[in-house]
Every structure is written in structure tokens, then in C-alpha cells.
Structure 1
Amino acid sequence: MTKAHALARLFERPDLDFLMGAHDALSAQIAEESGFSGVWLSGLGLSATSGLRDSNELSWTQVTERIGLVADRVSVPGLVDIDTGYGDFNNVRLVSRKLARTGVGGACIEDKVFPKVNSFLENGQVLADPAEFCGRLKAAKDTAGADMYLVARCEAFVAGRTLSEAVDRCSLYAESGADAVLVHSKLTSPDEVLAFMREWSSSVPVAIIPTKYSTVLAEVFEQAGISVAIWANQSLRAAIGAMQELCSALREQRTMRNLEGKIVDLTRVFELANNAELDLAKDLYSRYVPPGRSDETVSLLPEASRSA
């Protein structure tokens, strides 16, 4: 099964499922080990861990290079946050082709203009013309086809638009090739997304990102018919907090005494880097004697013959 197919099954199963936010291959591996069926590869996380703003300062080629590392490292599918698609339909075609080749699983495109503005910033939330955005979706689907699960992210609520417009936009997006829609809200309650679900009559799955209403019980989303909830940036925020705490303590104390027990052992780092696999590979490949040959006969070959 391809990761695109696995992502489709995750979205289309009858019960609610979750994607865990990841910002690199390491955080994606930890999410997989923790039991998550897929990861959300956050544009905010990729930007922040590169020391850049979440304003498309990280180029699409830099993003896809990092996504390739993630796709190689984990077996679960990833849904890549590609913001607005990095430009017009042609930029969307380029990034879709590249992501399909990585085999990561899927991509999520939001219906705002380039360069994107993070949804939780107050100013600059400009929605794209619906027909132009539908062209981006069709370009992505025509380019990647079944090799990439496509999610259309609707920012109508974030931009202060009506419920009716959110439903109409998402219907257009589904008709233009989106496999699922993501309805975003920055309220501290789930009221907007629950209202959307009451009006949504399409069979296309719906995802949400409950960053601001994160304490709502999963059963509320499940009963509303939501397919996927995404923990978009919690892993990033947890890592920042842990690093800040350690750095402050170490700067003040100037010793790791009383701190060593608060961080993982170095062997855990080697474990996550899969050093054990390299040891097995060394046994298999560092010196090889073909079947039918003995170690003695290979070793007795003249030096000139072996180096020729």
C-alpha cells in the first residue's frame, strides 16, 4: 500500500483519527513510535526550525528536500502543509510533482494568496478568488494523481467570512479534485467548525486543526462527523519549552548535576538514528564472500588481482 493510499484510508475510516504535527524526521519518528497513524508536516514547524518566519521564507525546494528526509525515515504517511502552493497553478504543479516522487502521502493547500500569512496573525488574511484556487487544486490533482492525497484548506472563518461562504467554497474545492477539506477556525471554541459540519452534506471527509480549542473532547468532533483532527504545532512548542528550560538551568548552574535525569540518555539519540541497522548492515556488506566461494579462496587472491 502506498502512503497516499494509507492516508486516504485514514481520512475515510468511519471513526475520528489524529495526525501528529512534526517539523523534521526526528519528530515524525517519535510521533510514529507513539502510535499515530500519520503525521502533519507543518509549514510553521519547518519554517521555525529553520529560523524563518511562517511567510513562505522557506522555499518550496527547501521544503520538499526536508520532506524527502521524513518520507525516507518513517513508514506512516505524511500530510504536507504546502501553504498556498508557493504561487500560481504552475508552482503548485512543480511542488506536487516533487512531493509525489517522495511518496510522502499527501499535501494540503490553503485558499489564501501568496505569500501566506499565518492564520493566527491578526492582519493580512486575504482569501484567493475561488475559481483561481480551484485551478490550483485541479493542477495539483492532474499532476500528482493517485500518488498524492489532496486536502483543500478553507480559511473563510479565519478571514471573517460567513458559514455559507465556507460551505460554498469547500463544495467547489471538492468538485475540483480535493480528496478532503480542512476547515480552519481560530476561535477558542469549536462553534464554527461544528456549525460547518451541520451544513456539510458532501461525502468528502473533513479535517480540523483544534489549536485554539484543544481541550475539547475528541468525542465532540467524532459525533459531529469530523474525520481527522491535527495536532499541528504542539510537538514544536513542547520542544521549545524543554530546550529553554534546560538552557536556562545549565547557564545558571554551570553543571549537569541534577539535570541529567531530565533529558534522555544519549543511547536514545543513537536508537532514533537507527544505529543498530548500520551495525547489521556492516555484518552483511563490509566483507562479502559470494555463494560457492570460501573465505580462504577470496583472501588468497593476489593483491594485484583484487585491486584491478
Structure 2
Amino acid sequence: MLQRSYPSFRSTLEEHGLVRVAGAHHALSGVLAQEAGFQAVWSSSFEVSASRCLPDASILSMTEYLEAAANIQKALDIPVVADCDTGYGGNYNVAHMVHEFEGAGITAVCMEDKLFPKMNSFAAGDQTLLDTLAFTRKIEVAKNAQSSDEFFVIARTEALISGQDVDQAIARCKAYALAGADAVLIHSKKSTKDQVVEFLDRWDNRAPVVIVPTTYPDWHVDDIRKAGVSAVIYANQGMRAALTALRESYRTIYADGDTTSLEPRIASVRDIFDLQRMTDWQKLDAA
């Protein structure tokens, strides 16, 4: 009764022309994303780090990110894609990462081609890339380490983030696809979609493409689909919205001295019980 079943990310990608993915950092936010209609959830290293008030800079351990992703997946009927940064180190770490995440029921992971330790893509700091050949080896190690054909490895290039051009991003992603990556993720911090559109126009469907439109939010999902994108990740909007709501709520309570004005604008305790599946759990004690 309390067991969850879910499709793999690979089968979800095959079923949908475009998979819409929402960022989360705990099971509750993942459940709300599923409730809204998203087909997958991104266990965001940025959100998991921020939930601890720590920078997204390879500070937390693989085990801590794994626990977050696994807890999200246990609560869902849709697949989790785990944001695994650089694979948590070298090739040994990548193999260990695949064993552990796959063993926890995660069917897709994403690795980026920056040096370990990495810095968040939108923060000031070193965005130096790993050598292309070295990253292709990481991809090969990851694919050789998986035990199921369903396991899905997304290779994320930070070429545009580091200041390189679309030519270099395409060259890297070609190498990653040839090394066995199941999809590539092209990341940009420009305020327009132009770099990503150029990449897509020149990619020739060598492998599925994933995008993260954090800094170019005005690209409608219908146009994203038409451009040939396979998955779109809204990586941190949920946490940003929650932060605004929490800040406003706490300030209102403190300023008003009671919660009367706030109550009509916040979820009920009953709503939380429903998300917890409280009734199902209580049936376990039924005579």
C-alpha cells in the first residue's frame, strides 16, 4: 500500500515529446511538482545546498546529495534526475556514484564538465572546464558502471558558462555523445535563448538535448518543444518562490502579533496530512 512505483527517466523520455522537469530539494517539493503535472523532478544540488544555507560549491558530500535524491524518489510516481555536479571527484568517484544512485532507485544522473570542486554556474568564481578527453572518460566509466540498460547519463557542458563559444560547446557535446552519454545538457547564463537556439540548430539530433532556462525565462514550452529540446529543467524556481512566501509569512506573523490575516493565504494542516498520505498510514492500525 505504501510502496511507490515509477517509470524510469529513459521510458519517460521515450513517452513524451518533451519532458518537463521541476527542481526540488526534498520529498514535499517533489510531490508538489508531480501534483502540478511535471513528468520528472530534478534533485537540484543548488537547492539541496541552499536548504543547508551552504553554497553550491562541492561542499556537501555525495552521501548527502544521494540521501536527498533518494528521499524525493521514494515519495514520487515519476522519475528523479539527480544533479551530481562533477561526479564528486575522479573516475573512481564516478563509478561509486553510479553504483550508489542506481542502487537507491535513481534512474538518471547528470554530470558537468567542470573541475572538482565546482562553483555554481551563476556565481562569481572559477568556471574552468575539465579537459574534453578526461570528461569523456568519466562518461565511459559511468556507463560501464551501470547495471541496468534503463540507467540514463546526462552529460552537461559548461562551455558557454566558462565563456567559450557555441562551436566549442558543440565539439564537446559531440565527444560526449560518442563516449556514450544518453543526452547532453547545454547550459547558458545569457539573458536570451540565442546561444541555446544556435546550438540546437546545429546539433542535428546526435543525442537528446536538455536545457535549463533559468536566465532566459520567456521561452514558452511550446516553442521549446518545436526547437527540438527533449527535456526542460526549471531548476530552482520552486525554492525561490518558497523563500519569498516564507519571508513574507514570517514577517507578517511577527508584525501582526498573530496569524489571523495569514490563515486564508496558507495551506491547511489537512492539506499537509493529505500530502503525507496520513489516511493510508493510519489504516495500518485499523482493527
Change (3 A) 1:13 1:162: farther
Task: Decide which of 146, 150, 155 is 2:158's aligned counterpart.
Answer: 155
CA distance, structure 2, for counterparts of residue 79 and residue 225 of structure 1: 20
| TM-score normalised by the chain length of structure 2 | 0.94
Please identify runs of 4+ aligned residues in structure 1 that moved more than 4 A.
Answer: none
**Unaligned 5+ runs, structure 1:** 288-308
CA contact (8 A) 2:10 2:150 kept: no
- Which residue matches 2:222? 219
**Unaligned 5+ runs, structure 2:** none
- Which residue matches 1:305? none
**SS of equivalent residue, structure 1 residue 20:** strand
- The one-letter amino acid of 1:28's match is G
CA distance, structure 1, for counterparts of residue 193 and residue 33 of structure 2: 25
- Which residue matches 1:230? 233
Are positions 1:74 and 2:76 aligned together? yes
**SS of equivalent residue, structure 2 residue 129:** coil
- Which residue matches 2:273? 270
CA contact (8 A) 1:171 1:202 kept: no
Identity of aligned residues (%): 34
In the TM superposition, residue 13 of structure 1 has moved relative to its aligned partner by: 4.9
- Which residue matches 2:192? 189
Are positions 1:248 and 2:251 aligned together? yes
CA distance, structure 1, for counterparts of residue 74 and residue 155 of structure 2: 25
Deviations 1:198-221 (A, max 9, x none): 110243100100001111222322
CA contact (8 A) 1:112 1:127 kept: yes
In the TM superposition, residue 276 of structure 1 has moved relative to its aligned partner by: 1.1
In the TM superposition, residue 179 of structure 1 has moved relative to its aligned partner by: 0.4
After superposition, the CA RMSD in angstroms is 1.5
- Which residue matches 1:306? none
Moved more, 164-173 or 142-151: 142-151
CA distance, structure 1, for counterparts of residue 193 and residue 14 of structure 2: 22
CA contact (8 A) 2:8 2:150 kept: no
CA distance, structure 2, for counterparts of residue 237 and residue 250 of structure 1: 20
Number of aligned residue pairs: give it: 282
Quick check: which has more Rg, 1 or 2?
1
CA distance, structure 1, for counterparts of residue 225 and residue 19 of structure 2: 9
Change (3 A) 1:197 1:36: same
CA contact (8 A) 1:12 1:227 kept: no
CA distance, structure 2, for counterparts of residue 197 and residue 11 of structure 1: 18
Deviations 1:72-94 (A, max 9, x none): 11110010001111100111111
CA distance, structure 2, for counterparts of residue 89 and residue 119 of structure 1: 22
CA contact (8 A) 2:139 2:179 kept: yes
CA contact (8 A) 2:177 2:184 kept: yes
